[in-house]
Chains A and B, each alone.
Chain A
Amino acid sequence: MEKIFFLIFAIMAIASAIGVVSLRNPVHSAISLMACFFQVAAIFVLLRSPFLAAVQVFLYVGAVMVLFLFVIMMLDIRKATISRFVPGGLFWIVVILIALVYEILAVISKSNLLARRVAAVRLDGTVAEIGKTLFTEYLLPFEVVSVILLVALIGAIVMGKKEIK
């Protein structure tokens, strides 16, 4: 039963990801990306981490996608949709991608991680456990990340501002 759900979510995720990179209109790509994020959130639920699934929906579907759609709305995309792909040089890109696929498959097939099973379910991925880990063991990275967010906020405001002559 779980496998059927996983396959549904995975196929939907891959289909919408292909939609992101192949659709002509950026708005359609953004909607497709939103569908992909929802499927990934469902896969997080299958992995017993409901908190991350909620954060995924809030942060990606709620914040990042609204930001993308807002920028698409601000910019005049219409005239930019004539040709989708970079002109020329597609051969080398395809070669690089095939090499990448081969490398990933080689690494996955050679690794001994595939046979790994969950030994005993010790944690249920609750918010309390994540919070404890975040605020004891990873307190310094947490603070650094908050500073990075502040810097990104200020940077986005400064770059979005009109230039002062």
Chain B
Amino acid sequence: MIPLSWYIMLSAALFIIGMAGVLTRRNILIILMSIELILNSANINLVAFSYFLQDLRGQVFAIFVMTIAAAEAAVALGILVALFRNRAVVNADEITTMKG
């Protein structure tokens, strides 16, 4: 029997690694991958609580999170392709058009 805290610790570790990726990396693609990591860690939490409370709603919410993550990836990569076509940059710190 695995205690609930192990799952929460794993999810927190993945969240923090993903957060570090979002904050430190320059490449937008890797920032997007880190966001996927963060969403996955949230999913681990939802499913863990769903199992430990014996309530299916956590799993249903995890399904919703997965669909939203897929939609987010599709739109973000579409924006990235359009951006690369116009400006040919993939580094997050070089996109300063709206800085004024």
Question: Residues of A with Cβ closer than 8 Å to B?
Answer: 2-3, 6, 10, 13-14, 17-18, 20-21, 26, 29-30, 33, 36-37, 40, 43-44, 46-49, 51-52, 55-56, 59-60, 63-64, 67-68, 71-72, 74-77, 80-81, 83-87, 90, 93, 96-97, 100-101, 104-105, 108, 113-114, 116-123, 125, 129-130, 133-134, 137-138, 141, 145, 148-149, 151-153, 155-160, 162
Most chain B CB inside 10 Å of its own CB: which residue of A122, A141, A145, A158: A145
Pick from B4, B25, B37, B63: contact of A85, CB under 8 Å:
B25
With a cutoff of 8 Å between Cβ atoms, the chain B residues found around residue A77 in the complex are: 27, 29, 90
B19 touches A68 (CB 8 A): no
Question: If A6-B2, A20-B33, A85-B26 touch, does A120 touch B54 (CB 8 Å cutoff)?
Answer: yes
With a cutoff of 8 Å between Cβ atoms, the chain A residues found around residue B62 in the complex are: 49, 52
| Binding site secondary structure of chain A | helix
B33 touches A60 (CB 8 A): no
A49 touches B50 (CB 8 A): yes
A26 touches B29 (CB 8 A): yes
Pick from A29, A118, A122: contact of B52, CB under 8 Å:
A118
* Tally of chain B residues near chain A (CB < 8 A): 73
A134 touches B5 (CB 8 A): no
The 8 closest A-B pairs by CB, nearest first: A21-B21, A152-B71, A156-B78, A159-B78, A114-B5, A17-B17, A156-B74, A47-B51
Assembly CA distance A56 to B28 (angstroms): 23
B36 touches A64 (CB 8 A): yes
With a cutoff of 8 Å between Cβ atoms, the chain A residues found around residue B2 in the complex are: 2-3, 6, 46
A68 touches B59 (CB 8 A): no
Pick from B9, B36, B68: contact of A145, CB under 8 Å:
B68
